[in-house]
Amino acid sequence: MRYIEQEHHSHPHKLELVYHRIPYRCDGCKEIGFGLSYTCEPCNFDLHKDCILATSSTSHPFYPKCNFNFLDHAPGIRSRYCDACGKDVKGFVYHCTKTGRDLHPCCSNLPYEIEGEGVKLTLHEKLSSKCSWCGKRRLWKGVTGWSYVSTCDTFHFHVSCVKEMLVKKWENGHFRKGAAGGTRVEQFDDDENTSLALERNVIQNMQLATVNQADNRIQDGVRKYWRIVKMVVKVIVSTIIGDPTAAVAWLIESIVSSSR
């Protein structure tokens, strides 16, 4: 489905707005994308909407002293990371010369408040509790990363961890193109350590010593917790990949169910 054409200095041909049924790699920021993108199909070239429509400069309330300028590549020779998601900067970036902070174009536009499926979450610069996925407050030493936190303060998810869920599914071959151009979804088991980590966090968050020996009341609590986790992850993933429609429902079901 095509809606509009755009030109961009990073590619010699016009780019058409199309809808992808499987993930793609943005040729601007090099991050994962899903749903809408500006595409040159003959060249297999894709740009996020946030990348092709990036302004020459921007600001962010988390960093009031920063003035971010758009660059095709991060300056200098050392590796750099996005202060929002903690992922490496490999292409398009908003860079602040004064503070040295960097933001992926898509990360710079993450909404501060999202709501859906009966869940309301707000974007935080730092976590006050451990992430419900990785079980840590920081991504690594010195890097906190942004997070979405539910208003009830029960669910905390690093933006980085939600991105990692998607990337792992993609790299493990979860998405396949169908013979007629559609999408076939194939189930693969997640890394054992990832599954165990999430199960451990579920138990810790509910203050349970064990699930296997729990009584029916506790088992019901675990099932209710998983239903809420599924809704929370669905809302965050839909926001990060820029596709708020029900088209990602099967993706969320796969991510959560294979981690139980």
Reported as a single tens digit per residue, the pLDDT across 206-229 is 333 334 444 555 566 666 666 667
Amino acid at 3: Y
Per-residue CA distances from 7 to 53, 92, 140 (Å):
10, 16, 38
pTM: 0.74
CA distance 171 to 154: 30
Nearest Cα to 105, choosing from 146, 147, 48? Answer: 48
Lowest mean pLDDT segment, chosen from 42-46, 139-143, 222-226: 222-226
CA distance 20 to 170: 14
Lowest mean pLDDT segment, chosen from 7-11, 169-173, 211-215: 211-215
Between 215 and 44, the higher pLDDT residue: 44
Beta strands 5-8 and 11-25, pairing class: antiparallel
Domains of the chain: 5-53 (3.30.60), 65-108 (3.30.60), 111-177+199-259 (no CATH)
Number of H helices, E strands in the chain: 6, 14
pLDDT computed for residue 178 by the predictor: 40
Q: What is the DSSP string of 102-130?
A: EE-HHHHT--SEEEETTEEEEEESS-SS-
The yes-or-no verdict on residue 194 having pLDDT over 70 is: no
The yes-or-no verdict on residue 125 having pLDDT over 90 is: yes
